[in-house]
Structures are given as structure tokens and as C-alpha cells.
Structure 1
Amino acid sequence: MTVTTITSREFNQDTSGAKKAAAKGPVFITDRGQPAHVLLTIEDYMRLSKGDVSLADALAQRDADFDFEPPRLGSGLIKPANLD
């Protein structure tokens, strides 16, 4: 599976290219550098929307090829409990 990321402008200028890329894996479409939409084939959408595959199963697929780097929590987010 190939994950593709394109800008909204690229999507508007080459929709058929985005559709071809979606045949190989999800296409993330960004707005101002942030992921905003995902383009999937109908087969992938139906498989995911039926609930046959959990998120954990989807991430554990052997042929999955994508990076997942969650943001680190900054300091100050966790505070000690006030027991007064």
C-alpha cells in the first residue's frame, strides 16, 4: 500500500492523478499544510466503513506502508492533583 500526500491545489489541477494514486493506497489532501481530506477507492471505503477492520488491524497490516508519528505532549499539560 502506498500513501500519497498532495495539496488541495495539486488535487484541483490533477484529479485523475489523485484517483490513480488512490488505487494504490489512501491519498491525503492537505489545506495549508494540514491533512484535511482522504481519498479512497470505494472498495477501501466499504471495507473500512463496515467495521470489518479495526484501527489496530488496519495499522498492523503487513503491507501497510506509512509513517505514524504522533506529536509529543509539551510540558505543562500534566499537572499534579490539588488535594486541598
Structure 2
Amino acid sequence: MTIMSSREFNQDTSGAKRAASEGPVFITDRGKPSHVLLSMDEYLKLAKKGPTVAEAFYSPGADEIDLEIPKLDGDFGFKPADFS
């Protein structure tokens, strides 16, 4: 991880690019982080989205997932619904 000021970044962009190949480069503005420079490979890793829950359940083989829902025993203070 490298930290450089905006001024340092402007004066040495090629150095910032080299540093980004090793890890993220945090660029500060008045002492506070304002930007991050990443290599394209690192950016693509972060930007890659995994499957949603729905996609995971509708993927091939998802119908073979064993799901056991345990029966709850005991009085939890709830009354059965009266639908009459």
C-alpha cells in the first residue's frame, strides 16, 4: 500500500502506476484520502459480482440442495391464528 499526496501524484504519475502494480495507491488531498489508484486486474477483481441468491438457487444442480428445517418445540408465547 502506498500513500501519496495529490502534488506527489501529479509530479510522478509513472511512479504511482508502478506502485499500483504492487498494491493500491491512496492519493490524499490536504492530508485526507480522496482517491485510490488500482491496477486494472485489481479493479476487475473488485468489480466482479458474484451470483445473487436467486441465481445461486436456480443454478444447475441447485435442486439437489438438501434443506432441513428443524421443527420448533415449545411454547413461544404465540397463539394459533383464528381464521373463522
TM-score w.r.t. length of structure 1: 0.58
Compare CA radii of gyration and give the structure with the larger one.
2
Residue of structure 2 in register with 1:15 after alignment: 13
Residue of structure 2 in register with 1:38 after alignment: 36
Say which of 27, 30, 34 aligns to 1:29: 27
Q: Which runs of 4 or more aligned residues in structure 1 lie more than 3 Å from their structure 2 counterparts after TM superposition? A: none
Distance 2:30 2:48 in 1: 31
Distance 2:14 2:30 in 1: 22
TM-score w.r.t. length of structure 2: 0.58
Q: Deviations over 1:51-73 (max 9, x none)?
A: 35xxxxxxxxxxxxxxxxxxxxx
Distance 2:14 2:21 in 1: 11
Residue of structure 2 in register with 1:5 after alignment: 3
Number of residue equivalences: 50
Distance 2:36 2:49 in 1: 18
Ranked by relative contact order (alpha carbons within 8 Å, sequence separation 6 or more), the top structure is: 1
Q: Compute the RMSD of aligned alpha carbons.
A: 0.8
Unaligned runs of 5+ in 2: 51-84
Residue of structure 2 in register with 1:57 after alignment: none
Unaligned runs of 5+ in 1: 53-84
